[in-house]
Structure formats: structure tokens, C-alpha cells
Amino acid sequence: MFQIFSRGPHGTERSPWQVTRSVWYAMFMREAISRTMTDRMGWFWMIAEPMIFTLIMVGIRGFIRGDRLIVGAEFIPWMIVGLMGFFVVREGMTRGLGAIEANQALFAYRQVQPVDSVLVRNFLEVMLRTLIFLLFIVGAMMLGMDLTPDKALYAMWDWFALWCLGLGLGLVVSVAGSLVPEVGKIVRMINMPLLILSGVIFPLNNLPHWLLEYVMYNPILHGLELLRASFFEGYKVVHGTSALYYWWWALGTMALGLLMHMRFRDRLKAK
Amino acid sequence: MIEIRNLYKRYHNHHGSPWVLKDINLSFPPGVSVGLVGRNGAGKSTLLRLIAGMDHPEKGSIERGCRVSWPIGLAGGFQGSMTGRQNVKFVARVHGGRNKEQEIIDRVQSFAEIGDAFDEPINTYSSGMRARLNFGLSLAFDFDVYLSDEATSVGDRSFKAKATKAFKDKVGQASLIMVSHGESILKDLCQAGVYLHDGQATWYDDVEGAIEAYHADTDGNVEDHPLGAPVRPQRLVEPGSLAQAREQLRQRRTELDNAKAMFADAKEQALKPNQRKHYEDALREAKQNAQDAKARFEAFKKDSNEGAL
């Protein structure tokens, strides 16, 4: 009948990589369906919601005016790039929070590990965000706005870097949030302040130096500035932006997150 | 073949963490169905989860040299917000059956017989329907060992019959490790037994031995059996002669009378349903046994009559 098992006679076993791949495929389809089917017009809102949010933010900021002088970039494209990059990190983090709990029932199948649910969710999220970003770029092009990246390859790399940080934070937060529920609350609480502290809405160039020293500890800011530098030729990044510092964070959180997933695997499954 | 060596397991909770399973050494031979018995909280489900690979032991090892199913039962395995079909697809994909999804779906659908509910979210299912789906799903794959955690306890009569038949058809190709408080189904489906008590596991080559050990330990405790131990049938060998069959029939009838008297007593004293159930079960079994003994006796009588002619 079906020779489709990880363990079977006569060397018909699937390799661990094959098992993982089929788990990822199954979970990806599951996540995608539940994202699109649970709400009415799920497909539409999945794309419209972040777009509308971005447009509202741009609208408000355009209305307030002030602080609009950004060296080497136009204001509105500058802000859209920042918002998009920020969302990748933020969504990676917050989607990771609920991932394990939402898939609890599926750990009955030993092939499915808690880390799979976080990885798959994150991947789906980033793919969606990338699609939305592309839609924005195309839309801006048609409106005659300059949102096309000047250094496209660098921009893609920086986008990937933001994904890595989001994934790393998501991995850490998914374990911490499942073991200590308060973590989830704190993460949701710092969402808004992070929006400002990462220099998404207001350029941080004009901050006094003593304050900037502390603000620069935030790795998201580094990532966003690098992304903008790739988008706008001649853009002047906030003083102290460092790709090395950023990658320490991205790789560090990823390593820590994976370690935590290994260490607490049974606790996460048994919850 | 499943080998369990020096297995220790405990759960950390707020009041210390006592060992649930202590130094378990078992080996499940291939093709032998095994019933796990023990009191609530003895670690039966934990052992099953460990065998399934859902959980990992603190110490010791489990070797699964064969294809083992997930624990089929009430808890878990399905995402409540998704439909039965979507859940089946998920499990098929996880097990690598990407190109055979439709085949698996058809099989599950025909076994579960839940009709249009197959395309409704699992949340709307009754526990019996969930059990049907879970059971059908596991049978769609060819496992060497099926793990069942009270999988049949909520089903109706026809489902139980169907599930029992499905397993009997698999004899020779697959075996079963099951946790159940239904002793008749254990005796029906299992050959060997394991009795779990105080974190220790004892292997019995005969499932009735395990059930007897379980009874010997629990009978007479006031909580379960306030009227004393229910009538337990004696184990009798297959009768070899008319006289022996007659003797056995008489014995079974005495047992039946005792069980009847006890059940009447239980009813009179208005015991709690869960306590009364023990006596009711004993009565049912005694009835069955008396019927069987009678049939044997009649058969012998017929034989001897024919011989006389």
C-alpha cells in the first residue's frame, strides 16, 4: 500500500531532511489556508490591511509636516521603505509569539517540531510582506514617485537581513512567550515605541549625540538605515550605523532562538 | 519490535516532580498486540506518548524498529478551526503522501462515515465523530504498530464493531498497543498485557494475567468497590468431557447468581454511577460466560447423544 513512512523495511526510510521538508510543505499549506480562510475576504485583507496602515501613517505624517528634510531622499518614499522594513521585523516577532500555541494539536505527530511552526509562519509572513512591498514599488512607479531601489542587489540583501533579524527575534520570543506568558505582553507593549525608536517616522539624524548613543543600541534602526542607503543613492545614514553590529544581533538571536527551541522542545510540546 | 530500556519519565509541576515511570524495561515483540492496564494516573498514556515519540524520556531509551502510529485517541491530533478534510490532507502531507492525498482522503472518508461533516470544522464535531475520523485516518496508513489511547471508548456500537473488525483484519500485518478501561475489548484484541503500577511495568504473556493483577491490586478498595470486590470469573480451561463441561456450567451459574445479587445490592444502595458500573460490568461478563459455558455444554451433550445412537 503506501510506502510513505520515515521508517520502513528494506531501506525505504525517508531521510530526516525529507521528513522536515514534507512537514514544512504541510504546515505552509495549512498556514496559508488558515490565513486566507478564517476571515471573510481573507485574501483581500491580508494585502489591504498593511497597505492601508502604511497609507494612513504616510498621510498623518504628511499632514503634520516638520522634520521633513532628509538628506539624499524624498520624504514619502523614505518613510514607506522604513515602514515596510520595520513590519518585516515586527511581524516576524509577533507572529512567532502565537505560532507554537496555535499548532499545539499538531505535535501529536512526532514529525512536527515546535520550531517548524515558527519557521513556516515566518516564511509565509515575509513572502506576503515582500509581495506588498513590490506592489508599493510598482504603484509608486506609476505615480511617478521615486521608490525604485538605486542599488537593487544591496536592497535585496538588506531586505533579507531584516528577515533574518525578524526570524531570530521570532524564534527567541516564541519560546520565551510560551514558557513565560508575560513576555508576550511586553513584546506587544514595545511595538509602538519601537516604531519611533527605530526611526521609521521621524529621522533620527537631529537627535543630540548623548541620546543617539543609546538609541543606536536598537538593531532595527541599523537594518532600516542600511536598507534606505541601498534604496536612495546619496542617502546619509544616521551616524554610527554598522552592518557588523546589525549582523551580530541577527545571527545571535537566531542562534539563541534555535538553542532555546532545542533545549525546551519537550516543554513546548507538552504545554 | 519496540525496545524500552531503563526508561525514566517525570513531569515538572508545582508540587515536586515524582517519577511517573521508573526504570521501565519492556520489549514488544512484533505482531503481538499488547494491552496496557493500570489505575488512572499510573502512566499509561505517558508511556504511550513516549512510544509514539511525542515526548522524550528523562533517562533511558526507546528503540522503534518499525513504523509506529501517533496515539489514536481523544486528545489532540486535529486543528479545531480547520475542516476534517484539511486535517486529513495535513497528516497525509506530513507523512510524505503528497501524491496520494486523494487516495488517503477517500479511504478516511469511507471508514469514518461522517458524511457532510467531513467538510465542517473539527470544532463542530462530537467526540464520537472525532474518534471516527482519527481512527479512520490512522487506518489509512500502513503502520506496523498502532497506538490507541481509549480510541474506541466514545464510539457507538457500530463504530466499535467496525474498529474491532478493522484491527482483526490487520492481524499478521500490524499489531496494537492499547490503553483501555474496557476489559472486554482488551481481551478481544490483545494477546499480551502490561500492568503499570507505582511507576513499574510488569509484562504478562496473557492479557488476562495483566487484568487479573490489576484487579488483585484494586479490588476491595473502598473508593471503587464499597460493597467489596465484584465477582471475577475464574479462568477455566477448555472442557474435555461432558462431565467437565457440566461442572463448568454450574460454576458459571453460581458466579452469575453472585454477580446478580451484588448488582441488585448496588442498585438498592443507590451507589454512585461510577461505582455501580464495576458491578454492572461484572454482571455482564458473568452473563456472557454463563452463555458460553452453556453452549459448550450443549455441544458436548449433542456429541454424546449422537455417539449413543
Which residues make Cβ contacts (< 8 Å) with residue B145, sequence separation at least 6? B2, B28, B66, B67, B68, B69, B174, B175, B176, B177
pLDDT, tens digit, for every residue of B236-292? 777 778 888 888 888 888 888 888 888 888 888 877 777 777 788 888 888 888 888
Does A113 touch chain B if contact means CB atoms closer than 8 Å?
A: no
Phi–psi pair at A152, nearest 5 degrees: -60, -40
Residue length, chain A?
A: 271
Question: From CA B237, how far away is CA B232, in angstroms rounded?
Answer: 16
Name the average pLDDT for chain A. 86
Chain center to CA of B299: 31
Chain center to CA of A103: 20
Q: Which residue, A51, A57, A49, A65, is CA-closest to A192?
A: A57
With a cut of 70, say whether residue A12 has pLDDT above it: no
Question: From CA A2, how far away is CA A4, in angstroms rounded?
Answer: 5
The answer to whether B143 touches B67, Cβ cutoff 8 Å, is yes
CA distance B216 to chain A (A): 33
CA distance B48 to chain A (A): 11
Chain B residues within 8 A of A103 when measuring between CB atoms:
79
SS3 for A156-219, per residue?
HHHHHHHHHHHHHHHHHHHHHHHHCHHHHHHHHHCHHHHHHHCCCCCCCCCCCHHHHHHHCCCH
pLDDT, tens digit, for every residue of A96-118? 888 888 888 888 888 899 999 99
Which of B94, B97, B142 is the closest to A111 by Cβ?
B94
Which of A29, A106, A110 is the closest to B53 by Cβ?
A110
For A69-155, where are the E strands, in sequence order? none
pTM of the model: 0.80
Does A15 touch chain B if contact means CB atoms closer than 8 Å?
A: no
pLDDT, tens digit, for every residue of A161-185? 999 999 999 999 999 999 998 999 9
Which of A33, A103, A266 is the closest to B56 by Cβ?
A266
The answer to whether A199 touches A131, Cβ cutoff 8 Å, is no
Does A20 touch chain B if contact means CB atoms closer than 8 Å?
A: no
For A52-78, what is the mean pLDDT? 78
CA distance B255 to chain A (A): 44
Question: From CA B244, how far away is CA A18, in angstroms rounded?
Answer: 62
Does A218 touch chain B if contact means CB atoms closer than 8 Å?
A: no
Q: Which residue, A228, A215, A229, A221, is CA-closest to A246?
A: A221
Q: Given this model, what pLDDT does residue A6 score?
A: 42
Q: Given this model, what pLDDT does residue B59 score?
A: 87
Does A111 touch chain B if contact means CB atoms closer than 8 Å?
A: yes
Helix, strand or coil for residue B2? strand
CA distance A111 to chain B (A): 7
Q: Given this model, what pLDDT does residue B149 score?
A: 85
Rounding to the nearest 10 degrees, give the CA dihedral for residues A106, A111, A114, A119.
-110
Helix, strand or coil for residue B177? strand
Q: Is the ipTM of this complex over 0.85?
A: no
| Type and span of the H or E element at B44 | helix B44-52
Contact B55/A109, CB-based, under 8 Å? Answer: no
Helix, strand or coil for residue A15? coil
With a cut of 80, say whether residue A231 has pLDDT above it: yes
Under DSSP, the state recorded for B81 is: T
Phi-psi region of B215 (alpha: psi -120 to 50; beta: other; left: phi over 0): alpha
Measured CA to CA in angstroms, residue B216 lies from B42, B127, B181, B251 at distances of 16, 33, 15, 21
The answer to whether B127 touches B155, Cβ cutoff 8 Å, is no
Band of residue A44 on the pLDDT scale cut at 50, 70, 90: confident
Which residues make Cβ contacts (< 8 Å) with residue B217, sequence separation at least 6? B197
Chain B residues within 8 A of A26 when measuring between CB atoms:
89-91, 93-94
Higher pLDDT: A200 or A259? It is: A259
SS3 for A110-126, per residue?
CCCCHHHHHHHHHHHHH
Does A33 touch chain B if contact means CB atoms closer than 8 Å?
A: yes
The parts of chain B modelled with pLDDT lower than 70 are 14-15, 74-76, 220-224, 307-309
Segment among A211-225, A236-250, B112-126 with least mean pLDDT = B112-126
Q: Which residue has the cell 463504530?
A: B159
Does A11 touch chain B if contact means CB atoms closer than 8 Å?
A: no
Indicate the domain borders of chain B.
Answer: 2-213, 242-308
CA distance B134 to chain A (A): 12
Chain A residues within 8 A of B96 when measuring between CB atoms:
4-6, 14, 18-19, 22
With a cut of 60, say whether residue A3 has pLDDT above it: no
Q: Given this model, what pLDDT does residue A247 score?
A: 96
CATH code 3.40.50.300 for B2-213? yes
